[in-house]
Structure 1
Amino acid sequence: MSIDFDNSADKAEGNLTGKILIAMPGMSDPRFERSVVLICAHSDDGAMGLVLNSPLPEVDFGDLLQQLGIEVDDSIRNVEVRFGGPVEPGRGFVLHKVPEHGEDPEGRVRIGRSLAMTTTRDILEDLALGRGPDTAVLALGYAGWGPGQLESELLQNGWLTGESADDLIFGTSDQDKWSRALGVQGIDPSMLSGAAGRA
């Protein structure tokens, strides 16, 4: 699936770029049970997102860099590695903070005013040497939806959409992120039903 990562134009109404998806209790796909997903790109061609609350504790960032042939020194940044989704699990995406104003270099996609995703090796090399963004996480793989697929899942009550927050993206308490994401939207998790409502 090819997703257009150009988020520079004004977002059309209904565009979910920068929003989060919160899996509803009736989520039929076990890979996304109780997951929180940041939507990084959304257009008529489909959507792409990264799971925010599925850590990969068995994957060490420094070891991963060395496997990629990237030199690591003592100033390496401590970067959490997460399962970003089931599509292309060997591909890495770095979520990180950026200044609100300024140009985005090639390979960096701005998701919000101060949030971006970078897919180039340069950022990994910088992090390996203690440079680059102060706050970052690495996601392996991504969640992808074809044209109209995400919209269909939303209509079927598979996901709740909401506003993101820095602690949902960069916080380390992954087991609490689903409840926290609901709380950010003002929703008590115990009040959710797995079935779509009918009038």
Structure 2
Amino acid sequence: MEDLSGHFLISTPQMPDPRFQEQVILLCAHNQEGAMGMVINKPNEEISMMEVLLGTNIPLPEGPLPPVYNGGPVEMEAGFILYNSDAEAGKSLKVTPDIYLSREAKLLEKISKGEGPENYLFLLGYAGWGPGQLEIELMDNSWLTVPGDMHVLFDTPDDLKWKQAAHRFGINISLFNNIVGNA
């Protein structure tokens, strides 16, 4: 089994689960025990970053605040920070040489003071798969896998990430259902 940590999962038009249609997930962990990732293109319409910071008694930083993202349907109350830096943030999972995942409130405090990473996404919840579950979904053509890309992750507007993540590797995801099949 190839470790797909650091890769994007791009839902294909064959995705049967409506929660994941036109979604891009950055896989943060993938091994024999299963997989875990973060949906990176689904802003949460019900909670703002200001509410998150005020709710945790963290001072508001200067300037505009980014959106809060729905990271996935598992543990929707759990907060995560995807960021590109090696800034000290306590316990962090190294997803790629440039991308880390943290649950440390200390990192949010640093961000509010302007001392944290320049690029980050704050997410609530995550996407998870049990042993072999993701591999079955990959065989069913529910997902396309491509290497993760910092430009798509941090610089691309959310409504364009689904198409752009595939396009960066020469794939028109809108036409994907015309070229897949099972032999």
Q: Establish whether TM, by shorter chain, passes 0.5.
A: yes
5+ residue gaps, structure 1, are: 1-12
For 1:184 and 1:44, how far apart are their aligned partners in 2? 29
The RMSD of aligned alpha carbons is 2.1
For 1:121 and 1:74, how far apart are their aligned partners in 2? 15
Q: Aligned pair in 2 of structure 1 residues 20, 152: CA closer, same or farther (>3 Å)? A: same
Q: Alpha-carbon deviations, 1:6-31, whole Å to 9, x = none? A: xxxxxxx6000000000010101000
* CA-CA distance at 1:197 after TM superposition: 1.1
For 2:53 and 2:89, how far apart are their aligned partners in 1? 22
The match for 1:48 is 36
The match for 2:57 is 69
* CA-CA distance at 1:57 after TM superposition: 4.2
Q: Aligned pair in 2 of structure 1 residues 153, 66: CA closer, same or farther (>3 Å)? A: same
**Is it true that 1:131 corresponds to 2:115 in the alignment?**
yes
The match for 2:127 is 143
Q: Of 90, 93, 97, which aligns to 2:77? A: 90
The match for 1:112 is 96
Aligned residues: 183
The match for 2:159 is 175
* CA-CA distance at 1:77 after TM superposition: 7.3
Q: Aligned pair in 2 of structure 1 residues 191, 119: CA closer, same or farther (>3 Å)? A: same
Q: Secondary structure at the match of 1:130?
A: coil
TM-score by length of 1: 0.84
For 2:31 and 2:2, how far apart are their aligned partners in 1? 9
Q: Secondary structure at the match of 1:117?
A: strand
Structure number with higher strand proportion: 2
- 72-81 vs 184-193, which moves further: 72-81
For 2:26 and 2:37, how far apart are their aligned partners in 1? 5
Q: Secondary structure at the match of 1:20?
A: strand
TM-score by length of 2: 0.91
Q: Aligned pair in 2 of structure 1 residues 65, 76: CA closer, same or farther (>3 Å)? A: farther
- 59-68 vs 111-120, which moves further: 59-68
* CA-CA distance at 1:193 after TM superposition: 0.8
For 1:174 and 1:166, how far apart are their aligned partners in 2? 13
**Is it true that 1:159 corresponds to 2:143 in the alignment?**
yes
**Is it true that 1:18 corresponds to 2:2 in the alignment?**
no
* CA-CA distance at 1:195 after TM superposition: 8.4
